[in-house]
Amino acid sequence: MKDLSLLFDNPPEGATIIEVGDLTVPTGVLIACDPFQTCTSPPFITEVPKGQFPVQLLLVNLRVAFARVLFSTKPATAWEPALTEWGGNTHMVDAGLSCFIDQSTSERFCRLLTEYKAAHPKGNYYEDILNKEFRANATPTSRSAGDWCLHQPFREKKDTIPMFASGLGDGQYTAWWGTANNKPVTITIDFSII
């Protein structure tokens, strides 16, 4: 497995690194998924430290090529598949979006989406809520619709959900642990752009 950190340390020509903000991890149980599939997405087997951790994107040709969370300043010395409780290290994207989310935040967000749909039968959570947040982050190096947001649906707890466009759109994407001394220092999603 190639060292995915090198892509962020030495980005390809024309690539842009985006600082999305901090992911809140209150339980140490992490999920990578389509944000509209949080109700049915399995967590990773490996637990991560609890706290707040920076999320970065690598954009190539106006597309999110990689997304990562940094749990430590230590460099990764080994890479391995980030296996979920269902086996495998892929997650399915059906809405053109992906995210990192703590398990407890995922459970709450699942309930919120269910309640929103019940209260707004003709509504669309992306168009009604997220579209504005994504567009607010549009830059000359991203698409005009915006490619990321740091969604904060529960203001009182400040749980965050870093959301981002998934490469070229829908599909299955792999996640990889970068480890040092057998402990995760980063996790990276590869959106198969490069």
How does pLDDT run across 163-193, given as a tens digit for each residue? 999 998 999 999 999 999 999 999 999 999 9
Total number of domains constituting the chain: 1
Contacts of 14 (CB under 8 A, 6+ apart): 60, 61
For residues 7-21, average pLDDT: 93
Question: Coil, helix or strand for 20?
Answer: strand
Q: What's residue 142's pLDDT?
A: 83
Q: Provide the residue range defining the domain that includes 112.
A: 5-190
Q: How many CB atoms lie within 10 A of CB 129?
A: 15
Instruction: Reply yes or no on whether the pLDDT at 136 is more than 80.
Output: yes
Nearest to 82 by CA among 175, 190, 181, 185: 175
Instruction: Reply yes or no on whether the pLDDT at 116 is more than 90.
Output: yes
Instruction: Reply yes or no on whether the pLDDT at 24 is more than 80.
Output: yes
> What share of the chain has pLDDT > 70, as a percent?
99
> What share of the chain has pLDDT > 90, as a percent?
87
